[in-house]
């Protein structure tokens, strides 16, 4: 008797579970960052908002810390629909999407507010359309601050200080070009490998924003941070285009709203974390170097822009549009 009831109950539970799998769409999401990082917290918030705003019809399970692979691999997985969602930096998306690569041109943005004004305008639409064409629909933009150089030996004040230095960059010809034009040796490498590479001297330096410099522990093995601020690259909450296009209009609105709210939350967390990360590494003994004159770094980037125009002659107006945006 007892056995029969247990069996019936177990069957009912299994049926209910099946029904919930069938009625809900359970998405899987990729993020590279550790617990507590602004993007990690804000992606969890996105998952929470998604469930609420879609009335539980869509849910998202986030995989943080890069556990589902490197960023270039995850971008491919979202394109292929093996994953539905990713929090991506546009740097590694650039090689796939020439229009989205404009944001990875060194010194293209004046500052972070300028970057957001550009993304909110016509240029943002062109960039998003280029991404959608390659299978990745951006839903909202996250802040990733400005990236600066760091290394273990000395402060960097002029391009001559980069000469001969092995510098890790993200996978993108614009970044290898950037280091080469400064006289250094570019070394493209996955984010997860950079700590060991710095520690063992495989590279002499790298470049990133304050929160990543701090959260990865790179500051422990590369104690000079020089404020070059050569790259200001946005990040996205991105979705597989097929997944997005299959949504009803009502669900599209709900998903977009959840992403926008998550992005506003992320930007607020970002501002606080930038200050906190800087304070933490300074307290740990990092030498922060203000570069008095950044003009020589900017001037050295002319060939990087030329190579970009040569490969994408049709994208010159997009660059000019960004430069003309107040």
Nearest distance in Å: CB 206, ligand GTR: 7
316, HSE (Cβ side, Cα atoms, 13 Å): 7
Interface map 195-224 toward ligand GTR (x if CB under 6 A): -------------xx--x------------
Is residue 32 a contact residue for ligand GTR (CB under 6 A)? yes
For ligand GTR, the binding residues in 177-196 under the rule CB under 6 A are 191
Is 290 among the annotated ligand-binding positions? no
Task: Indicate which single residue of 40, 54, 77, 89 sits in contact with ligand GTR (rule: CB under 6 A).
Answer: 89
Neighbouring residues of 115: CB distance < 8 A, sequence distance ≥ 6:
103, 109, 232, 234
Per DSSP, the three-state class of 24 is coil
171 CA to centre of own chain: 13
Nearest distance in Å: CB 129, ligand GTR: 22
Task: Indicate which single residue of 66, 91, 94, 135 sits in contact with ligand GTR (rule: CB under 6 A).
Answer: 91
Structure tokens of 303? Answer: 């060939």
Neighbouring residues of 224: CB distance < 8 A, sequence distance ≥ 6:
150, 151, 152, 153, 154, 155, 156, 286, 287, 289
58 CA to centre of own chain: 24
Structure tokens of 41? Answer: 């917290």
Neighbouring residues of 173: CB distance < 8 A, sequence distance ≥ 6:
95, 307
Task: Indicate which single residue of 144, 203, 258, 322 sits in contact with ligand GTR (rule: CB under 6 A).
Answer: 144
Is residue 112 a contact residue for ligand GTR (CB under 6 A)? no
CB nearer ligand GTR, residue 53 or residue 168: 168
Nearest to 62 by CA among 38, 96, 26, 91: 26
Is 168 among the annotated ligand-binding positions? yes
Nearest distance in Å: CB 187, ligand GTR: 12
Please give the Cα distance from 170 to 187 (Å, whole number): 8
Is residue 148 a contact residue for ligand GTR (CB under 6 A)? no
Nearest distance in Å: CB 204, ligand GTR: 16
Nearest distance in Å: CB 317, ligand GTR: 28
> Residues interacting with ligand GTR, by CB under 6 A?
32, 71, 89, 91, 144, 170, 191, 208-209, 212, 235
Give the residue ranges of the annotated binding site for beta-D-glucuronate. 71, 147, 168, 208-209, 235
């Amino acid at each position: 008797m007892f056995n029969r009831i247990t069996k019936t109950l177990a069957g009912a539970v299994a049926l209910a579970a099946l029904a919930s799998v069938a009625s809900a769409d359970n998405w899987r999401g990729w993020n590279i960052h550790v617990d507590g990082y602004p993007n990690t917290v804000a992606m969890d918030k996105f998952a929470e908002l998604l469930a609420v705003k879609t009335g539980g019809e869509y849910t998202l399970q986030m995989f943080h810390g890069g556990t589902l692979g490197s960023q270039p691999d995850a971008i491919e997985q979202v394109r292929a629909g093996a994953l539905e969602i990713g929090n991506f930096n546009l740097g590694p998306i650039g090689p796939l999407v020439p229009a989205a690569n404009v944001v990875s041109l060194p010194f293209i943005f004046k500052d972070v507010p300028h970057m957001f004004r550009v993304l909110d305008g016509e240029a943002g639409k062109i960039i998003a359309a280029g991404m959608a064409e390659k299978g990745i629909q951006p839903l909202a933009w996250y802040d990733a601050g400005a990236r600066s150089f760091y290394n273990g030996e000395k402060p960097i004040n002029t391009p001559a200080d980069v000469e001969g230095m092995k510098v890790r960059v993200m996978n993108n010809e614009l970044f290898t070009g950037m280091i080469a034009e400064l006289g250094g040796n570019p070394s493209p490498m996955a984010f997860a490998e950079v700590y060991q590479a710095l520690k063992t001297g495989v590279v002499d330096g790298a470049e990133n924003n304050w929160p990543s410099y701090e959260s990865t522990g790179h500051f422990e093995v590369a104690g000079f941070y020089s404020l070059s601020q050569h790259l200001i690259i946005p990040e996205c909450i991105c979705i597989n285009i097929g997944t997005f296009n299959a949504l009803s209009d009502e669900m599209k609105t709900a998903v977009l709203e959840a992403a926008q709210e998550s992005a506003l939350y992320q930007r607020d967390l970002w501002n606080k974390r930038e200050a906190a990360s800087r304070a933490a590494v300074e307290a740990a003994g990092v030498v922060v170097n203000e570069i008095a004159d950044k003009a020589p770094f900017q001037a050295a980037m002319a060939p990087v822009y030329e190579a970009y125009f040569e490969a994408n002659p049709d994208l010159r107006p997009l660059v000019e549009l960004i430069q003309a945006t107040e």
